[in-house]
Structure 1
Amino acid sequence: MAVTAGKLLFLLVTAILASYAAVSHPFPPPSQPLLIPHTITYPPSLFATIFSTLGFQELSIAAVNANFSFPTPTTIFAPTDSSLLTCPACSLPLLIQEHSIPGLYNLHFLRNLAFGTKIETLAPNRCLTITASPTKPYEPIAKRKVFVNGVEITKPDLFNNGLFIIHGVHGFMSHLSPTSCAVEKMTTLAFPNQPPDTAEFLIMRFLLKEAMMLLRVNGFGLLALAMRVKYPELSQLKSMTIFALDDASIFAGGGGHAYVTDLMFHIVPGKLLKGSDLKNLPVGFEIPTMEHGQKLVVTTAGGAGFLAPMKINYVKIKSFDIVTNKRIVVHALSTPFSHVHRPAVNDDSCNQNHAGGVCENSSGTAQMTGREGE
């Protein structure tokens, strides 16, 4: 039944498009040259029907109130309803324009584009950046995941009638930057308040750029965006260790949304603590963070294998060294860190007045070690 409904929708839309184009743009007399129209305004109900049938209810509602003028053929990257919740202030008509590009780009074609290819959208002076996940040697290209400005295409080639292709995308949404078409100024790297271009700063800027790009490609787009916001502070560091939560875990709820607002509590400044370094830390070891006066505590030492994974603040380290370079290392968490409140030395009582977090009945501190940025 689903296949039949899809075929009926395809035939219906094709017929409407053809008839509407014929009525709106009749053929000229034989004495005049045949001009192919560059822009056609379709009735709002047409796109509302398409989006609604494909499951994009928010876009369907927006289409009713907007007259979409698209040059045909066009490829549309349609965000899911849950993705639109990440940008409540976004203008949906503008967002659709910013995620629509002239031409037909099916998934196979997108997979074969050069990494970082920029394609101009229907919104003036706005470009989308196409990237794909890396593949292992001898792994077929067909296994590549494709990302549009860091947002994954999760439902490719949902609709294709020869005039339009619609792909479903899921992830963090935002309007495109005015510098999105500039090769040297990608949206995720349009940092505010840049300090003077010293050699040290240029190195960190390059490594931040590299880390953020890898994070977005590997499903940590929200972290990459938060790092951009915190760029003035991060660019001053010589090195850092970041404990990351992926986008899927943040969108899944269960407290994951608190990770972005509590980001500084998940960053260790001035220390490059790789997986091998963390596994050697003893229980009770305290690790300073960028949140003033707050430290992380090793609650389960590493090196015990799969049955007893390392835990910091009672949170399991899911994966070590997911992104690493000479100044930055990123480890993946299962959930965000909770604040662990430790009593003073020789005080076995647990202060129950702490707001949130975990209160321990133990004490003791340890001096920080670890490699400085190389």
Structure 2
Amino acid sequence: MGKGVFFTSASMVLAVIITATLRSHHHETRHNPNNPSFTDFRSNASHLLRSNGFNFVATFLHISPDLFLSTPQTTIFAVPDGAISNLSLPPYMMKHFLAYHISPLKLTMQDLLRKPARTCLPTLVQRKSVGITKSDAKRGVLEINNVLITHPDLFVKGLVTIHGLAGSFASFDRQQESINLAVCETGQNKNNGKDEWGKVVKFLGSSGFMTFAIGLNSVTDRIVKDFPDLVSVTIFTPPNVALMAMSSPLLDKFMRSHIVFERRTFKQLASLSAGASLRTLVTGKHVEITESSKISHAVSINGVAITAPDLFSSKNFVVHGIARPLNIDDELSSMSG
């Protein structure tokens, strides 16, 4: 209970600071009579958000609804508390961050599932869109910017829809003090980075990681198919592992567990706090920074040390050598030694 009170209080204080920032840059408010009343909107939507672990967004929505209702139609993609905390965004950047998670369209889950993968959706950030990266209407599964919608249609009333997310559409570069917004591409005139995947495989094969290179090559086509808009990744490469003894599904899971979204150099990993999580290509699975130090130049992932940082680095890919395989669940525990 103490942690919950502290967390809510902290979010309230932060929201007050951010609200002051928002109001200083947003003097004109636009209210549309078709939108639900502020009273209903703030009470009902905020209650649903809080009860599902979206306290930060609920607080912002309650204190400054004008940002969320600045267009006739609105879809809000709520970011969970943990993801916002891990980003550690400066207050003055929060308006930009929130705007990237709001679309000036009303999009229920049914509306979203009707749209094909690679569809770009406008946001309140000028000339910036988010993209549907996975859509499975039969299972009711949908990802935007490779982030799963975990709470579809959390709130639907009038011309406002709210969906809860598993994470954030954006990332924060602490070195540059900037928010990284992914580029939404329709998929036309691009090869999904297959050439770059091939370069990584070739490099690993000629650098003493032949077994891992063979494994990566065997799953690349499936990864490209499952993540058509995957822009950048970080690969953690262990020394020789008995991959040939694995079944095809286990091999696929093993390889994906060593690949995380977004390109992160060793320096960037060292700047992350211990406990920060990195989302792998295995749905719902993360690895964690268990040690990071700029001074000692030591970084560990799930307790496994990075022994060969920045082995391979390109615009969208970076590869780090690690001491042994990563363990993300019991099924792969035998491989971690």
Relative to the length of structure 2, the TM-score reads: 0.49
Instruction: Report the structure, 1 or 2, having the larger helix content.
Output: 2
Q: Greater Rg, structure 1 or structure 2? A: 1
Relative to the length of structure 1, the TM-score reads: 0.44
